[in-house]
Amino acid sequence: MARSYATTLNALALYGIGLVLTAAFAAQFLLHELPCPLCLLQRVLFALLAVGPILNVRFGPRPSHYALSLLTAVAGAVVSTRQILLHILPGDAGYGSALLGYHYYTWALIGFVAAIVLLAAILLFDSQFDDDGATQAVAGDGFAQAAVWLVIGLTALNVISTLLECGFGACADNPTVYELLKSAA
């Protein structure tokens, strides 16, 4: 696999992460469902999952960049599994709305497991790591750069949203209002 092809795959991964973060925002604002602390942690882990592809777009593919994302995906799978186990008892309606029968945290687990499988698969292509004399940084094309800035922007919006929801203290277990906006009113 050529480095340019690997960069394009990393950009597509960033767009996928951007889609996940956008869907979480859609549930938050369109359905008026504030994310719980574990949901917020899963969003953070999706944003951290983007670090490897961002580094690959900027500096070229390296196994260590993929390893960062792989470790993050494992942590994300653990956190989403924890939340699934919290709501697994019969009669528990779960937290938030369901999409196609699954709650956000179940979709998150599916996404993190898919990321683990895809990262392992892309690591099988050693030719992307060949240094063909180009030791300088790889900037990536406009498609890849737009993906990087999309994820950075969505992550910044998540930070702002979390600050509004939780204020400067611990987040509520079952949030119903934006704490920072409540205290300002």
What's the confidence (pLDDT) of residue 183? 60
- Taking only the tens place, the pLDDT of each residue in 93-126 is 788 787 888 889 999 999 999 999 999 999 998 8
Count of the separate structural domains present in the chain: 1
What's the confidence (pLDDT) of residue 180? 82
What's the confidence (pLDDT) of residue 140? 63
| Structure tokens given for 4 | 């340019």
HEC readout, 128-145: HHCCCCCCCCCCCCHHHH
- In the chain (185 residues long), the average pLDDT of successive 10-residue segments reads 84 96 91 91 96 93 95 98 91 82 92 96 87 54 93 95 90 86 67
| Residue pointed to by tokens 């969003």 | 43
Instruction: Please give the residue range of the domain that contains residue 71.
Output: 3-184
Domain at 67, CATH number? 1.20.1550
What's the confidence (pLDDT) of residue 137? 46
3-class SS of residue 99? strand
* Angle of CA points 133, 134, 137, to nearest 5°: 160
Q: Which residues 6+ apart lie within 8 Å of 67 measured at CB?
A: 52
CB 37 within 8 A of CB 171: yes
What's the confidence (pLDDT) of residue 135? 42
Question: Which residues does residue 103 pair with via DSSP β-bridges, in sequence order?
Answer: 98
Residues in the chain: 185
What's the confidence (pLDDT) of residue 184? 58
